[in-house]
Structure 1
Amino acid sequence: MLDKLNRRLIEHFGVPERNKRKPAPVDLLIATILSQNTNDNNSYEAYQNLKRKYPDWRELAKAPLKEIEKTIKKAGLTNQKAGAIKNLVVNLSKDNRLDLKFINKMNNKEALEFLTSFKGIGVKTASCVLLFSLYRNVCPVDTHVHRTLNRIGIVNEKSPEKTFLRINENLPEGIAHSLHTNLIKLGRGICRPTNPDCTVCPVADLCAYPEKNTQKAPKRKKNDFLLLDNV
C-alpha cells in the first residue's frame, strides 16, 4: 500500500528534488531543532542567522545562551531551542565529535538511540538526520505525515512516534524521501487538519477517512518550501 501511495503522490506532486550535496549531520540536526513548532520559512531564517553568527559551531559552544536565543528569535520557543542546540554542541565538542560523522557507521536503530539521548531531540528530529543527511531509507513522521497516513488508513495510531515505528518496520526500499516530502505537501495543501479539500485529493479513492469533505474548500496560499532540503 505504501508503494502505491508513493506512486500516486509522485504522479500528482512530482519527484521531490534533493539537496545537491549531503548536509553535515550536525547542521541538519540544528536546523531540525529550529523547525520544531514553526513553519519552514521562519526556521530557515533562524538557521541562516545562526550560521552567519557562528560559522564554526565551536564558537556557539562558548556563546552565552541569551545571545543564541536572540539569534534564533525568528524560530520561536527560543529558550527551549537555544538550550537544546547549545547542549548538543557543547557535549559533542568535548569528545571532538562535532561533525557527527561517526554515526555513518551506526545502523538506523543505533543512530536513533544515540541522537535521541540528547535533551530536546526526539525521534522525528533524529530520523530527519538519517533521511536528509545520511540518505537512509527512513521516513520521519511529523504532524502532517501522521495525520495523512492515519486518515488514509495506512496506520491507526495515536502519536507520530507510533506511526513512525509502524511505517518504518517494512518500508519499501528507496521511497522514504519522496513519500515523506509529498505527504507533507498533501497535508499542507489538501489534507489539512480542518476543512480538507477531498475534491482535489490525488489519493481520495485510496483513503478510508470517514469524514471526507465533498465541498470544494477555499484555496490557500501554496507553501512548498521545505527547510531540510535547503540546509
Structure 2
Amino acid sequence: MNARQRAELYARLRQANPKPTTELRYSTPFELLVAVVLSAQATDVGVNKATARLFPVANTPQAILALGEAGLREYIKTIGLYPTKARHIIGLCQALIERHGGEVPRAREALEALPGVGRKTANVVLNTAFGEPTIAVDTHIFRVANRTGLAPGKTVRAVEERLLKVTPKEFVKDAHHWLILHGRYICKARNPACMRCPIVDLCEYPHKRLDPDKTHAR
C-alpha cells in the first residue's frame, strides 16, 4: 500500500467515524487505566459491566486499596483472569500512591513500571487519556495492518513501529481507535464483512468476500 492509498484509507475511516474513542467507559485517567488492565483477554462489554459496579464504589487508588484484593475480586470476578488482574490492580494502586501521589503518570516508562501494565496498555492510556500520538497494537489492529497491507509486520512491535512511520500525522492521534473498531466490526478474523467495508478497494487481502455482481471500486 502506497502513501496515497494509506491517506485515503484513513480519510475514509475518519469520514465514517469523525470522533472515534474507546468503547471502555471511564471518566478519569485512573479509571481508564484500570479498565484497560481488566480488558486483557476480555471484551469491553464485559469490562464495562464490571466497572459499572466497581467505579461508583471505588474509583481512586486509595478507595481500591481500601477494598483490598479480596474485596476487589468480588467486583471483577465476571472477567477472565480476575485473580491475577486483582493482584495487579492492587499493586499498581500502591505504586501510584507511593511514586506518583496517586496520579496516573504521563510518561511511558513510568506507566510500564506499574504492575500489570505493558506497552500496549501504556499506549492506550497515553493516547486516550492524554492525547499522545501513540498507536496501541492489539490483535484487531495487528490483523488489519497485515491483512490490508497498511503496515505489515511479523510482531506487534514491528506493526506498531511501521504504523507510526507510515500513518500521516493528521491521522496518528485517532488511528488506534479507527483501526481497532474496523477490526472489531468489519475486518473480523473469521468472517470479514468485506461487502460493507469502506476501504475494500484499497485492501490487499487476497481472500475478500465480495459479491461478483457488484463493483466496489471508488
Give the root-mean-square deviation of aligned CA atoms: 2.3
Alignment of 1:53-72 (within 5 A): 53-72=57-76
Q: Following the alignment from structure 1 to structure 2, what is the Cα–Cα distance between the partners of residues 201 and 82?
A: 38
Once the two structures are TM-superposed, the CA of residue 55 in structure 1 deviates from its matched residue by 4.1
Point out 4+ residue stretches in structure 1 off by more than 6 angstroms: none
Name which structure has the greater RCO, CA cutoff 8 Å, separation 6+.
1
Alignment counterpart, residue 165 of structure 1, candidates 151, 154, 161: 161
What per-residue deviation string (whole Å, max 9, x for no partner) do you get for residues 183-220 of structure 1?
2222122211012122222111111112222359xxxx
- 1:59/1:167 CA distance change after superposition, 3 Å: same
Q: Is the 8 A contact 1:198 1:213 kept in 2?
A: yes
Counterpart among 28, 39, 46 of residue 42 in structure 1: 46
Check conservation: 1:34, 1:47, Cα contact below 8 A.
no
Taking the aligned partners of 1:112 and 1:55, their CA distance within structure 2 comes to 22
SS in 2 for 1:121: coil
1:174, distance to aligned residue in structure 2 (A): 3.6
Deviations 1:53-80 (A, max 9, x none): 2144202124331211111123321012
TM-score scaled by length of structure 2? 0.83
Contact 2:164 2:172 in 1 (8 A): no
In 2, distance between residues paired with 1:132 and 1:94? Answer: 24
Q: How does 1:65-144 map to 2 (within 5 A)?
A: 65-100=69-104, 102-103=105-106, 111-144=107-140
Structure 1 residue 170 displacement after superposition = 5.3
Question: Structure 1 residues 58 and 195 mapped into 2: Cα distance closer, same or farther (>3 Å)?
Answer: same
Q: Cα 1:205–1:18, aligned 2, differ >3 Å: closer, same or farther? A: closer
Structure 2: give runs of 5+ residues left out of the alignment: 213-218
Identity among equivalent positions (%) equals 29
Q: Number of paired residues?
A: 205
Deviation at 1:91?
Answer: 1.3
- The answer to whether the 8 Å contact 2:72/2:86 transfers is yes
Determine the structure 2 residue equivalent to 1:229: none
Cα distance in structure 1, aligned partners of 2:20 and 2:47: 20
Change in Cα spacing, 1:195 to 1:17, as seen in structure 2 (3 Å) is closer
Cα separation, partners in 2 of 1:170 and 1:130, compared to 1, 3 Å: farther
Change (3 A) 1:10 1:170: closer
Q: Which residue of 2 aligns with 1:224?
A: none
User: C-alpha distance in 1, partners of 2:201/2:68?
Assistant: 54
Q: Is contact 1:197–1:215 with CA below 8 Å preserved after alignment? A: no
Q: CA deviation at 1:161?
A: 2.9
Partner deviation per Cα, 1:79-127 (whole Å, 9 max, x = no partner): 1211111110011112352112x52xxxxxxx22221122321111101
The code of the aligned residue for 1:157 comes to G
* Residue 204 in structure 1 maps to residue 208 in structure 2: no
Do the aligned partners of 1:15 and 1:178 also contact (CA within 8 Å) in 2? no
